Chains A and B, each alone.
Chain A
Amino acid sequence: MFCEKAIELIRELHRMSDGQLPAFNEDVLRQVLQEMEALYEQNQTDVNEAKAGRAELIPSIKLRHCCLLRNQRCLTAYLYDRLLRIRALRWEYGSVLPANVRFHMCAEEVQWISQYKKSLASFMRSLGGGEGLDITQDMKPPKSLYIEVRCLKDHGEFEIDDGTVILLKKNSQHFLPRWKCEQLIRQGVLEHVMS
């Protein structure tokens, strides 16, 4: 049956419904494109014959055409859903994506995410009367400016606003400005300790 390869791509994303980004499956994608090419060529020859008077070919032409549309839909959905996932990564990880995630993107996707980062950054700069506002911060309304955090792993040195450098060592506990550590908490480096 046609279009089996295309549904394979969709199933791959559908299985990881939590938003993880699987490796870009260029192999299967190319196979789908090849299948589409073959379908198109068969249809071309059949269309020419149908024009010459063989009207009984029309149902087959229509069937192949449906398959072409279906393949197109699957590929579009695959690429679009990947973009949604990549966009989510920008919000979860911050502006620098870890290497193992970047490794799973194709060249066009890397280009797209860098464009997205640029537009997001220039939007955030334009906010707040020219001062700029980081809208990826304070996803939950803050109760206090400083929070207690515990390190879950060695992260190295970390500089806060007043210039003090602190060492984020595993199991050490610190009292830090909230906006400085929100990103690190989201990345699982720090843990928010509630009293």
Chain B
Amino acid sequence: MDTQSYLPVQPGVGMGENFLSLDDIVLSHERLPIRTECRFPRLGFLEKSSDSQDIPEGTKMELPLWLSKGLYEKKRRVLSVELPKVYREGWRTVFNADPNVVDLHKMGPYYYGLGSQMLHFDSPENPEIAQTLLQTFIGRFRRNMDSSQNAYNEDTSALVERLDCLEKALFTSGQSGLNSFQSWEKGQASQLTASSLVLNYRKRKITDLQP
């Protein structure tokens, strides 16, 4: 197996976020539909549809997750967060019926991550959301694991394209396990290989090297 010396900061697990993880930062940039519950003076330019100086109370707009999370307070109502439609009742029924047919990449691509983050906002539907997330993952996991462990030397793009980011990471680690097992069986495990980082550099930077 390729021993990679670059190990990025892992994303947080469950409802937690890892401060330095690139994945979590990109995830928390997903936009959520919200409704303001108080006036935001002098920030009218953030809301393009009106010309007023302030954002009035009761405006419906979209804010990134990090901002909604930062402004949200349980005691004082500053804003209320609405569920994105993939987590609402209608879609939940679809997920519960057969999680395997859904294209989570199109829905997400951070379906699980965003879903767990939604639990920060007190919504009466939270238990159902959590349950659906878990059941969806369980329902899809078997197929995902099966394909990652058995597709050797094949084009996996068709298998990967419908996976959520979390599932994709699991798929790649399954594949790398499979590949290193196969190379061990062929007796190539002890062969020294060029670092993939160096090779990729050469591919891209070939123009830089020429004077």
Contacts and interface: CB of A to CB of B under 8 A. Distances in A.
Interface of A: 1, 3, 7, 10-11, 13-14, 17-20, 42, 46, 56-57, 59-60, 62-63, 65-67, 69-70, 73-74, 76-77, 80-81, 84-85, 87-89, 91-93, 100-101, 103, 139-143, 147, 182, 185-188, 191-192, 194
Interface residues of B, number: 48
A92 B198 contact: yes
Query: How would you classify the secondary structure of chain A's contact residues: helix, strand, loop or mixed?
Result: helix
Given A18-B196, A70-B66, A77-B22, 17 more contacts: A10-B25, A11-B26, A19-B197, A20-B200, A56-B39, A59-B41, A60-B42, A62-B71, A66-B67, A69-B70, A73-B19, A77-B21, A81-B20, A81-B22, A88-B6, A186-B195, A188-B198
A74 B198 contact: no
B107 interface: no
B40 A60 contact: yes
23 contacts: A10-B22, A18-B200, A19-B4, A56-B41, A59-B40, A60-B42, A62-B78, A76-B20, A84-B6, A84-B9, A85-B6, A88-B4, A88-B6, A88-B7, A89-B197, A91-B5, A92-B197, A92-B198, A100-B209, A142-B190, A188-B199, A192-B191, A192-B192
B124 interface: no
Query: How would you classify the secondary structure of chain B's contact residues: helix, strand, loop or mixed?
Result: loop
Interface in B187-211: 187-202, 204-205, 208-209
A190 to B, nearest CB: 9
B127 interface: no
Contacts of B197: 18-20, 88-89, 92
Nearest to B38: A59
Contacts of B25: 7, 10, 73-74, 77
